[in-house]
Structure 1
Amino acid sequence: MTTNALFSLAGRTALVTGASRGIGRAIALGLAAAGSDLILAGRATSNEDTAAEIAALGRGCRIIDVDLADPLSARDAAAAVARDSTVDIVVNNAGIISRDDVLSIAPQDWTRVLDVNLSSLFFLSQQLAAPMVARGRGKLVNVASLLSFQGGIRVAAYTASKHAVAGLTRAMANELGPHGVQVNAIAPGYIATDNTQALRDDPDRFRAIAERIPAGRWGRPEDLVGAAVFLAAAASDYVNGHVLVVDGGWMAR
């Protein structure tokens, strides 16, 4: 197989959550550039700009309107997609963060973060993985975090959810791998997105973080595209249950 064939997504369809901006948008556009058609799952109006950019690349794209804060709705929406479309790749990128002290977190904030970041991810993957198993081929790519390995400060719910995403990635890989379905995750480092705006607005935190990153800068959403294409393509057919850190070297420190 040629190098181009190893990384080509021609003839594939990928479903991406949280593609309206930031990392999800960059990954969706990267998959489209590699040849994949796209299904964008999330609030319909928020995905229209990304869908237009994908269409401009000459790839097919449609939007599935679903509230990922409601895990059962995510499950039902994914089941409907599985009935009428062949989904070869799933990128579970959607995620939210709530910043509060451990002693002050409200139950509804804890639940919402876990629902979006973990429960909807699981039930959506569950429904879309079933036909992959039947076909003997498929790729699930979850977006984890550096907080899949570390504790963080004032982000207990997010940290709990991202530790769980890493563990779930491995658990699903163990069960689905024998059926030709690879399940892996990307753990982004400090990326300039809406989720990190509060950190970037704090001059001391921004500087301290940048100084620790061997690459000498915060990441950009586009820095995740190569890893996403690799994990979605034939190049990673023997990679399973892995959490690929893309962090400019942060974890090496």
Structure 2
Amino acid sequence: MSILRDTRSGKSTGVSAIQTVTLSVFRFDTIRARVWAFAQMGFARLDFHLMKRCSFWKLCGSGGERFATADPRIYAILAVWDDAETARRTTEDARIYRRWRRHAVEDYTLFLQATQVRGHWSGRTPFRVTDKAAPGPLAALTRATIRPSRLAKFWRRAPEISDVIGTNPDVLFKIGIGEVPVLHQITFSVWPDAGSMARFARRDGPHARAVRAVRAGDWFREELYARFRVTGSRGTWAGSDPLSQYRDAV
């Protein structure tokens, strides 16, 4: 049975009636499992249409731990829930999540509460700021719809950014996923604190240069940036909980 761990103590958490976002990533190793997961990009939609307490969801695939690459083994479910208890219970017990875990060799879920949001996703702002920034791990999510005329410029920049974040020792967890290959891209990363996140974002390097180019060249038709407080985790990734690095340090 999976356990929901508090980000600081590793113990089971309490829950509260505030909006909670979950990101669940799954790794499918066999060809048969990968074909099944690909088909779920269409079939699993019905499950979420029937979930009344899920206000927003996205099924994502072809993700990788390097933002600029596709990994056909990795798929993800991002969902927004009315409260923390619903998020915990549904990601543990709902048929769709149990089905995905049964086919996957590994899965990992992060529980999040938004502290900062700007922009739109599919024409709306899906995350509601429900928490203030606090000590502890933070997550950053960026989502963009790239203008077709800017695709070549965007993807020329992406490998360099991926290399920089991949070698950053502060990053606890990172994943790149997408709704539509090439056009709709999502990056997600977890950092031990606000300072380490800010140092990466602000220092002059590939990431900062890319941000300036995006603004100057109007590369995105739609974009969203969100920052979250990480309130818990469940499962493992690459054999362990990536947040254990943070817990061991405090």
Question: What TM-score do you get using the length of structure 1 for normalisation?
Answer: 0.30
Query: Which has more strand, going by share of residues?
Result: 2
With CA pairs under 8 Å and 6+ residues apart, which has the higher RCO, 1 or 2?
Answer: 2
| TM-score, scaled relative to structure 2 | 0.30
